């Protein structure tokens, strides 16, 4: 049965368009059509009530949600619960993110993602391994006891196939450019983050295949007059992507505006770095034996260190519009189209066009999520 989504303001590659129906068959979009089209008249019509129809949000950095943390139990059930929690906020694709841990835990996490993909757990696009090849000087809340230097022996583990994307965040100075090239050659998407690298080291890593930067500004060397640092290298580079945590706490709105203006177009994407409080009534959780508390939308340790976020993607889009001043169409693409391209999924995800996955978020004018669709099914 064909489903026709009607009476919505649809974000297409040409901007917002009204008066068109979005036709869905077998989990995919088959086209946009006028209401007079025979396919629309014959379809099972779903009225969007004049709301905004956006490509489903894709979050590359999801540590937890729904009261659970991926590190605590890297299982299919944990992945499912995290996905269910974030789906309420328009996330239709996500990478369960494992914070720096031992090799055996990394193996279990990769295996769990593989099983989740095989079982068809909604929204799972792969895995994000954030560490353990990161810099002690920029560790954030990561456990430095887990850190190690990435060598050739790690390539086989990191390149294990699991039916989805593998994203690895590392510090370029904690490995070699040869290992970076091997990882990329084996299909791993590599991002620089939690790094004390200088500008030259970062530039060399980009040449070796680093594709993006994890939560720009946070846990990396800053941009200064005589040493551009990781931030300067990231903003100068035309081909890489940068993740932004737009929660009003991780990065000042003015810094975000400057970075967005400086970076090449279509290379800024929204991430949440979400922790268990998202989609949960419990503001507290435990990370590596330390209790983290969420107050006023901020997750932090007892000494005030930021520990991920309590951000969801719908709020990230709202903040990007209201706090940073980005138009809604561009903010929505930062949450969908651009992360899809970063992950190499630009031909299947992130657009409302024929041939793409039928992943959508329906929002009202106040940025509230009204409906979420994954693979043509309303969640």
Residue 75, classified by CB atoms within 10 Å of its CB into exposed (0-12), middle (13-18) or buried (19+), is middle
Tell me how far the alpha carbon of residue 57 is from its chain's centroid.
8
CA–CA gap between residue 205 and residue 118 (Å, rounded): 33
273 among known catalytic residues = yes
| Residue of 273, 281, 329, 365 marked active site | 273
Taking the C-alpha atoms of residue 342 and residue 116, their distance in angstroms, rounded to an integer, is 22
Is residue 6 within 8 A of residue 46, CB to CB? The reply is: yes
- Cα separation, 282 vs 120, in Å, equals 28
Integer Cα distance of 10 and 12 in angstroms? 6
Of the candidates 131, 139, 193, the residue with the CA atom closest to the CA atom of residue 305: 139
> Any idea which residue has 């189209």 for tokens?
337
- On whether the CB atoms of residues 206 and 233 are closer than 8 A, the answer is yes
Residues 97, 130 contacting (CB under 8 angstroms): yes
Instruction: Compute the distance between CA of residue 83 and CA of residue 88 in angstroms, rounded to an integer.
Output: 9
Q: If phi over 0 gives left and psi between -120 and 50 gives alpha, with beta otherwise, what is residue 273?
A: left
What distance in Å separates the CA atoms of residue 192 and residue 235, rounded to the nearest whole number? 13
Smallest Cα–Cα separation from 171: which of 140, 215, 204, 138?
138
Residues designated catalytic: 273
């Amino acid at each position: 049965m064909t489903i026709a989504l009607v009476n919505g303001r649809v974000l297409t590659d040409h901007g917002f368009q009204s008066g068109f129906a979005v036709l869905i068959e077998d989990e995919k979009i088959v086209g946009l059509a006028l209401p007079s089209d025979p396919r629309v008249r014959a379809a099972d019509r779903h009225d969007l009530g004049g709301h905004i129809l956006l490509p489903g949000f894709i979050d590359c950095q999801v540590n937890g949600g729904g009261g659970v943390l991926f590190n605590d139990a890297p299982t299919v059930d944990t992945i499912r619960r995290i996905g269910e929690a974030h789906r309420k906020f328009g996330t239709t694709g996500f990478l369960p993110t494992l914070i720096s841990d031992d090799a055996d835990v990394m193996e279990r996490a990769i295996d769990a993602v593989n099983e989740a993909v095989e079982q068809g757990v909604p929204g799972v696009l792969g895995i994000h391994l954030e560490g353990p090849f990161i810099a002690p000087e920029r560790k954030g809340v990561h456990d430095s006891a887990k850190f190690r230097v990435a060598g050739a022996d790690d390539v086989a583990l990191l390149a294990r196939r699991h039916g989805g994307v593998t994203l690895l965040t590392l510090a370029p100075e904690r490995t070699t450019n040869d290992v970076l090239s091997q990882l990329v050659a084996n299909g791993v998407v590599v991002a620089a983050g939690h790094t004390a690298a200088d500008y030259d080291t970062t530039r060399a890593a980009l040449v070796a295949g680093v594709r993006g930067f994890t939560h720009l500004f946070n846990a990396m060397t800053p941009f200064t007059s005589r040493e551009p640092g990781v931030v300067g290298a990231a903003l100068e580079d035309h081909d890489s992507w940068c993740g932004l945590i737009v929660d009003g706490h991780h990065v000042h709105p003015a810094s975000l505006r400057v970075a967005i203006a400086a970076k090449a177009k279509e290379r800024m994407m929204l991430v949440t770095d979400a922790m268990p409080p998202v989609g949960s009534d419990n503001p507290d959780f435990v990370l590596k034996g330390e209790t983290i508390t969420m107050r006023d939308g901020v997750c932090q340790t007892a000494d005030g260190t930021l520990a991920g976020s309590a951000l969801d993607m719908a709020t990230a889009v709202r903040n990007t519009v209201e706090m940073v001043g980005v138009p809604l169409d561009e903010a929505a693409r930062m949450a969908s189209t651009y992360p899809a391209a970063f992950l190499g999924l630009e031909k299947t995800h992130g657009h409302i066009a024929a041939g793409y996955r039928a992943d959508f978020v329906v929002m009202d004018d106040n940025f509230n999520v009204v409906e979420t669709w994954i693979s043509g099914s309303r969640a």
